[in-house]
Amino acid sequence: MTSTRHFIAALAAVAAALTASSSPAQQGNPAGTTPSSQMRAPADVPNPQDRLFVTLAGQGGLAEVQLARLALDKARSDAVKRFARRMLDEHSQANQQLAAAARQAGLVPPDRPSDEHRATYDRLARLDGAAFDEAYVRDQLIEHQKTTQVLLWEMGSGQQPALQRFASATLPTVLDHLEHVQQLLGELTGAATP
């Protein structure tokens, strides 16, 4: 877990540096964009990074809510159910905030998760008990790592202030979710450290 804390601390430091900097430096490249697509659009027009951010963050947030509902129904562990309740509540709120920021930026947020998220839901829906608990928590670990990267990327490459503010304000919560899910996975697999 020490390496996990170092990872989270490093991400927080990067986030702080990006927030303090006005540089449009790209953080990661989840869209596979080319350098020519990194050019800044006029301030009132969302750039490709903003558009992709709304799609990725929106689809991910909707999937989090659906998966949390599934976990509340199928999880065996009380700790997993508490985590799922937290995900349902906090991601529902974040989804509303993202939708408002997207509209403010002139973008329409997605209304359903991606095909990949739907496939994850279908796979998890076929599991029960401890197998479900572990698979759900492992998927949550991956999804929160992806979300962290997407938020950092928007903070560094986005152009719309409302979306950048959303990303900056949401990052600490996602990092907290990431730490929580890592601890939970350790408890479920017996790899927890004191």
Q: List the CATH number of the domain containing 105.
A: 1.20.1260.10
Distance, CA of 194 to chain centre: 27
Give the mean pLDDT of 9-19: 45
Q: Is the pLDDT of residue 150 over 90?
A: yes
16 within domain boundaries? no
* Predicted pLDDT at 46: 77
12 within domain boundaries? no
Q: How far apart are CA 56 and CA 109, in angstroms?
A: 10
- At residue 81 the predicted structure's pLDDT band, cuts being 50, 70 and 90, is very high
Nearest 5 degrees, angle CA 85-CA 100-CA 159? 115
* Predicted pLDDT at 45: 72
* Predicted pLDDT at 104: 95
* Predicted pLDDT at 22: 39
15 within domain boundaries? no
Which residue has tokens 């303090």?
20
How many other CB atoms are found less than 10 A from the CB of residue 17? 13
Q: How far apart are CA 194 and CA 178, in angstroms?
A: 18
Give the mean pLDDT of 5-9: 48
56 within domain boundaries? yes
Q: How far apart are CA 121 and CA 70, in angstroms?
A: 8
CA contacts within 13 A on the Cβ side of 35:
0
State the pTM of this model: 0.76
Contact 141, 181 (CB under 8 A): yes
73 within domain boundaries? yes
10 within domain boundaries? no
Residue 111 CA: distances (Å) to CA of 3, 60, 108, 169 = 36, 11, 9, 22
Q: Is the pLDDT of residue 158 over 50?
A: yes
Shortest CA distance to 43 belongs to which of 158, 150, 154, 151? 158
The larger pLDDT score, comparing residue 47 to residue 27, is at 47
Number of structural domains found in the chain? 1
As to burial, measured by CB atoms within 10 angstroms (0-12 exposed, 13-18 middle, 19+ buried), residue 170 is: buried
Shortest CA distance to 28 belongs to which of 152, 134, 179, 193? 152
As to burial, measured by CB atoms within 10 angstroms (0-12 exposed, 13-18 middle, 19+ buried), residue 193 is: exposed
168 within domain boundaries? yes
> What domain range includes position 131?
45-111+127-189
174 within domain boundaries? yes
